[in-house]
């Protein structure tokens, strides 16, 4: 059993876990976390599959995963901004409902 | 020997990921999520992707974790399900 | 290859314009945006002219060719898509100038504030759409798709609480879709060490890795294209966004992921046996056509109706994969799907723009608040008649021509049942288009007292009319479209000629 194979398997488990969680969990923060775990799984899979097992690692997939990580962070930041604004809007609605009562 | 390390790291990674998405307390979940990022950077080292290990610690665990923690501090409570069709 | 780099220009011009819109003062954003739109249309026309007269264009920006660099390849298919994007994009830009025009009331002041964001994000989406259509590298496609996704989510989230939640759901779904696609990229790169579409097409075999890659990529892209039952995120996101954003999302953005899927099936996985997956997609396509149309008919809000109509029309797109059940990609089905993409992009964008104009005059887009006794509504009424005509797929329109190609493709593949579903979809579409026309034209009891209609500007009407006329006009012009599509290299389209011409 080789290192690449171990991590490729781990990546598959992480992908499954991420997809499952994003489907069943209701809290938005947790869904966003699950997407991040899904992403990490895909990135690990990418590198583990591309590596030949000996010698220097292939730089091309590393550059791609680097891009992928940056995209993931941007997406997470966007998601968190949305979550905050949803929360603010909910709070405002709750206050309005309280005043009406 | 090194295979044993790989196996332990792999199992820990899966366990931490599972805990991060299933802990009831959101703060603990975020801390576990940051731990997950650090562990992923160890995986990058094992896969000889050293640049990625650095990036993962700085961005994956660092910035993402900080963003999550920051948001958590601002949130008021549970979110509720809303019908998105809009009322008429 | 010498001459002006048209292919790079159609990506770089809107990208630059988007960046400039982000830094100029808010009042200038519309001017810069519209100028960029015109420049992009000019560059796209140049590119289209080139492909029409000299065949497909290929460029390697930065002087690096595949496999190291990124090749831009513009064949007939890509040319048709960037031209469609240019027409729809120009109309959306024209509409947005008046939609986001500075206004006096404090409530709308915030809308004005959003216009800087709108122009940057929208032009970046335009650039990335063109990037998707002309890239021939799987990873570059991933990056462009992600840029489209993130910008679209931000565009949806520009307004209201409902839109915020819809945007969040859209973000989660579209990220999952992109990552599923990336799993396929990882498997293909792990297997063959290249990501260029043409290089992979000659390498991919029947192995387990390519099968899994095919399934993961198809699932991810079907999710992003909102094929039933993966459509749950679309109606809320498309209906609650501002009107020009809805038009861009329904008209163009979902087409990007579909086109990637079409390219994958006909090129990268061309040699693979896809019969089981094709059968599954065909069943889902038929379900989408029927179920989406029924849902559209049941809606009480105009924009929700149009959004569910998109769910139904996505079904027609996936009919293109039906001939794969018999293990052969049919060029007629591909031609049908591409003409359909062009016709639906124009018709659906026209409808959303007209709906936006109606929502401005009535205050919201509920059918119950519409009151037809007004001469100013004649223009939206005409737009809905023309766009509805092609959306239903009546003869001599773009949509009609596309549906004719698709139905003859499924017929020759021996799948009459798909044809029946398409006919049922046409009847249901007629009903929901009539429902819209009825509500625009006739006074409803709830809103019987005459209300002060707010002004709909000439720019808004012109944008909608332009799109609906083009959507119908694609029918008579379809022979030219098919001729343009033949300027293809390497794709299945280039092989046998259409028997219909």
CB contact under 8 Å between B60 and A69, yes or no, is yes
Q: What tokens appear for C68 in the block?
A: 């190291």
**Cβ–Cβ of A49/C154 closer than 8 Å?**
no
Residue ranges of B 52-81 with Cβ closer than 8 A to chain A? 52, 55-56, 59-60, 63-64, 67-68, 70-72, 74-76, 78-81
Q: Is residue C440 over pLDDT 90?
A: no
Looking at CA atoms only, how far is residue C164 from chain B in angstroms? 10
HSE-CB for C474 with a 13 A CA cutoff: 36
CA–CA dist A87, B4 (Å, integer) = 45
- Per-residue confidence (pLDDT) for residue B39, from 0 to 100: 96
CATH of domain A3-100: 1.10.287.3510
Neighbours of chain B (3+ CB pairs under 8 A): A, C
pLDDT tens-digit series, residues C98-146: 888 765 454 555 555 667 789 999 999 999 999 999 998 899 999 999 9
Which residues of C fall within a CB distance of 8 Å from A67?
Answer: 139, 143
Query: Chain A closest CA to C291's CA: distance in Å?
Result: 23
The verdict on a CB contact (< 8 Å) between A93 and C161 is: yes
A7 and B18 within 8 Å at the Cβ level: the answer is no
Determine, for residues A87 and B51 on separate chains, whether the beta-carbon distance falls below 8 Å: no
More confident residue, C492 or C208: C208
Q: How far apart are CA C304 and CA C365, in angstroms?
A: 9
**Surface of C (154-183) touching B: CB under 8 A:** 161-162, 165-166, 169
Render pLDDT for C68-85 as a digit per residue (tens, 0 to 9).
Answer: 567 788 989 999 999 999
CB contact under 8 A, A39 and C143: no
Q: If you write DSSP's letter for every residue of C20-68 in order, what string do you get?
A: HHHHS-HHHHHHHHHHHHHHHHHHHHHHHHHHHHH--EEE-GGGPPTTT
Domain that holds residue B37: 2-71
* Chain C residues with CB-CB distance to A50 below 8 A: 186, 189-190, 193
Instruction: Centre a 10 Å sphere on the Cβ of residue A10 and count the other Cβ atoms it contains.
Output: 25
Distance, CA of C96 to CA of C459 (rounded, Å): 9
| Backbone φ and ψ of C59, nearest 5° | -130, 150
Which residues in chain B have their CB less than 8 angstroms from residue A47's CB? 44, 47, 49, 52
Q: Check CB contact under 8 Å for A82 and C150.
A: no
Burial classification of residue C21, based on how many CB atoms lie within 10 Å of its CB (0-12 exposed, 13-18 middle, 19 or more buried): buried
Which of C170, C146, C321 shows the shortest CA–CA distance to C240?
C170
Region label for C69, one of left (φ > 0), alpha (ψ between -120 and 50) or beta (otherwise): beta
* CA end-to-end span of chain A: 66
* Sequence-ordered strand ranges (E) for C344-419: none
pLDDT tens across A35-62, in order?
999 999 999 999 999 876 555 677 888 9
Mutate to test the interface with B, among A87, A91, A98 (most CBs of B within 10 A): A87
| pLDDT reading at C449 higher than 70 | no
Domain total in chain B? 1
- Any domain includes B78: no
Task: Name the percent of chain C lying above pLDDT 90.
Answer: 63
Closest chain B residue by Cα to residue A90: B79
C212 and chain A in contact, CB less than 8 A? no
Tokens of C133: 């259509």
Q: How far apart (Å, rounded) are the C-alpha atoms in residues C254 and C263?
A: 15
User: Looking at the domain assignment, is residue B82 inside a domain?
Assistant: no
Q: Chain A partners of C140 at a C-beta cutoff of 8 Å?
A: none
Using the predicted structure, report yes or no on whether residue C450 has a pLDDT greater than 50.
Answer: yes
Q: What span, in angstroms and rounded, lies between the C-alpha atoms of C333 and C326?
A: 13
Residues of chain B numbered 27-46 and touching chain A (CB < 8 Å): 29-30, 33, 36-37, 40, 43-44, 46
Confidence of residue C95 (pLDDT cuts 50, 70, 90): very high
Please report how the helices C138-156 and C254-263 are oriented relative to each other, as an axis angle in degrees rounded to 10. 160
Q: What is the C-alpha to C-alpha distance for residues C318 and C55, in angstroms, rounded to an integer?
A: 28
> Is the Cα torsion angle C191, C194, C197, C199 positive or negative in sign?
negative
Pairwise CA distance, residues C13 & C8, whole Å:
8
Q: Which residues from B are below 8 Å from C364, CB to CB?
A: 88
With residue C376 as reference, give the H or E element that holds it: none
Q: Label residue C500 by pLDDT band (50, 70, 90).
A: very low
Q: What are phi and psi of C58, to 5 degrees?
A: -135, 135
CA atoms within 13 A on the CB side of C501: 17
What is the distance in angstroms between the Cα of A32 and the nearest Cα belonging to chain C?
A: 7
Q: Residues C306-343: pLDDT tens digits?
A: 999 999 999 999 999 998 887 777 789 999 999 999 99
Report the residue from B6, B64, B76 with minimal CB separation from A91. Answer: B76
Give the percent of chain C with pLDDT over 70. Answer: 89
Structure tokens that stand for B62 in this block: 């660092």
What pLDDT shows up at residue A98?
A: 78
Q: Answer whether A49 touches C (CB < 8 Å).
A: yes
Q: Which of B82, B84, B88 sits opposite C368 (nearest CB)?
A: B88
Q: Which band of pLDDT confidence, cut at 50, 70 and 90, is reported for residue C222?
A: very high
Set of chain B residues whose Cβ sits within 8 Å of the Cβ of C165: 82, 84
**Is residue C448 predicted with pLDDT exceeding 90?**
no
Summarize pLDDT for B1-28 with one digit per residue, the tens: 789 999 999 999 999 999 999 998 999 9
Pick from A48, A62, A73: CB nearest B59: A73
Determine contact: B51 vs chain A, CB below 8 A: yes
Contacting subunits of A (3+ beta carbon pairs below 8 A): B, C
Look up the ipTM and state it: 0.94
Q: Which is higher by pLDDT, C399 or A89? A: C399
Residue C61 confidence (pLDDT) above 90: no
pLDDT of residue C129: 97
Q: How far apart are CA C47 and CA C40, in angstroms?
A: 10
Write out pLDDT tens, residues C148-204.
999 999 999 877 677 899 999 999 999 999 999 999 999 999 998 888 888 898 888
Contact call for residues C409 and C489 (beta carbons, < 8 A): no
Q: Is residue B50 part of a domain?
A: yes
* More confident position, C439 or C487: C439
B52 domain-assigned: yes
Domain boundaries, chain A: 3-100
Q: Would you call C135 helix, strand, or coil by DSSP? A: strand
Question: B55 and A26: CB-CB below 8 Å?
Answer: no
Task: Supply the DSSP string of C271-315, one letter for each residue.
Answer: TS--HHHHHHHHHHHHHHHHHHHHHHHH-SBHHHHHHHHHHHHHH
CB B10 to CB A48 under 8 A? no
Report the pLDDT value the prediction gives residue C498, as an integer from 0 to 100. Answer: 33
Task: Among A28, A67, A93, select the one facing C168 at the smallest CB separation.
Answer: A28
Q: 């959004």: which residue's tokens?
A: C307
Q: How far is B88 from chain A (nearest CA, A)?
A: 18
Q: What is the pLDDT of residue C490?
A: 43
Phi and psi at C366, nearest 5°, equal: -75, 140
Whether A64 contacts chain C with CB within 8 A = yes
Chain B residue numbers touching C235 (CB-CB < 8 A): 84-85
């Amino acid at each position: 059993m080789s290192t690449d194979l171990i991590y490729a398997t781990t990546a598959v488990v992480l992908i499954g876990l991420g997809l499952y969680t994003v489907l069943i969990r209701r809290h938005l923060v947790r869904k966003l976390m699950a997407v991040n775990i899904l992403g990490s799984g895909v990135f690990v899979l990418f590198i583990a599959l591309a590596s030949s097992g000996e010698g220097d690692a292939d730089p091309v997939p590393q550059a791609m995963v680097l891009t992928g990580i940056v995209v993931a962070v941007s997406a997470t930041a966007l998601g968190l901004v949305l979550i905050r604004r949803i929360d603010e809007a909910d709070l405002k609605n709750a206050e309005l409902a309280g005043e009406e009562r | 020997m090194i295979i044993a390390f790989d196996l332990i790291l792999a199992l820990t990674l899966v366990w931490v990921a599972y805990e991060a998405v299933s802990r009831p307390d959101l703060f603990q979940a975020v801390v576990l999520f940051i731990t997950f990022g650090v562990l992923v950077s160890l995986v990058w080292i094992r896969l000889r992707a050293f640049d990625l290990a650095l990036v993962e610690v700085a961005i994956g665990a660092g910035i993402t974790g900080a963003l999550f923690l920051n948001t958590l501090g601002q949130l008021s409570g549970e979110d509720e399900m809303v019908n998105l069709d809009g009322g008429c | 290859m010498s001459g002006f780099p048209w292919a790079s220009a159609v990506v770089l011009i809107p990208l630059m314009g988007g960046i400039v819109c982000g830094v100029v003062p808010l009042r200038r954003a519309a001017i810069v945006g519209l100028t960029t739109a015109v420049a992009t249309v000019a560059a796209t026309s140049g590119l289209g002219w080139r492909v029409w007269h000299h065949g497909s264009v290929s460029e390697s920006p930065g002087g690096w060719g595949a496999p190291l660099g990124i090749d831009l390849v513009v064949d007939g298919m890509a040319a048709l898509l960037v031209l469609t994007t240019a027409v729809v994009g120009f109309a959306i830009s024209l509409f947005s100038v008046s939609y986001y025009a500075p206004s006096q009331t404090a409530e709308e002041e915030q809308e004005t504030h959003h216009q800087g964001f709108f122009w940057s994000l929208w032009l970046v989406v335009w650039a990335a759409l063109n990037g998707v259509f002309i890239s021939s590298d799987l990873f570059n496609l991933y990056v462009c798709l992600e840029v489209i996704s993130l910008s679209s989510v931000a565009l949806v989230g520009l307004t209201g609480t409902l839109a915020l939640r819809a945007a969040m759901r859209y973000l989660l779904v579209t990220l999952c879709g992109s990552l599923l696609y990336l799993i396929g990229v990882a498997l293909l790169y792990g297997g063959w060490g290249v990501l260029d579409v043409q290089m992979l097409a000659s390498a991919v075999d029947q192995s387990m890795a390519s099968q899994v890659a095919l399934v993961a990529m198809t699932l991810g892209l079907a999710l992003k294209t909102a094929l039933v039952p993966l459509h749950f995120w679309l109606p809320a996101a498309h209906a609650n966004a501002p009107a020009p954003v809805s038009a861009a999302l329904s008209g163009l953005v979902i087409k990007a992921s579909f086109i990637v899927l079409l390219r994958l099936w006909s090129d990268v996985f061309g040699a693979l046996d896809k019969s089981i997956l094709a059968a599954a997609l065909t069943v889902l396509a038929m379900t989408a056509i029927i179920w989406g149309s029924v849902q559209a008919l049941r809606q009480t809000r105009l924009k929700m109706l149009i959004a569910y109509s998109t769910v139904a029309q996505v079904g027609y797109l996936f009919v293109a994969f039906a001939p794969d059940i018999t293990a052969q990609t049919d060029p007629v089905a591909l031609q049908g799907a591409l003409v359909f993409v062009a016709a639906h992009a124009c018709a659906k964008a026209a409808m959303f723009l007209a709906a936006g104009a109606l929502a401005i005059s009535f205050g919201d887009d509920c059918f119950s608040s519409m009151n037809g006794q007004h001469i100013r509504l004649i223009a939206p009424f005409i737009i809905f008649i023309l766009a509805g005509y092609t959306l239903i797929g009546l003869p001599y329109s773009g949509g009609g021509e596309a549906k004719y190609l698709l139905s003859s493709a499924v017929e020759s593949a021996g799948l009459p049942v798909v044809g029946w579903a398409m006919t049922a979809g046409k009847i249901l579409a007629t009903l929901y288009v009539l429902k819209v026309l009825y509500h625009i034209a006739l006074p409803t009891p709830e809103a019987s007292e005459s209300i002060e209609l707010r002004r709909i500007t000439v720019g808004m009407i012109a944008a909608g009319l332009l799109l609906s006329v083009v959507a119908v006009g694609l029918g008579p012009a379809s022979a030219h479209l098919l001729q343009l599509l033949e300027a293809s290299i390497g794709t299945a389209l280039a092989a046998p000629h259409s028997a219909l011409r």
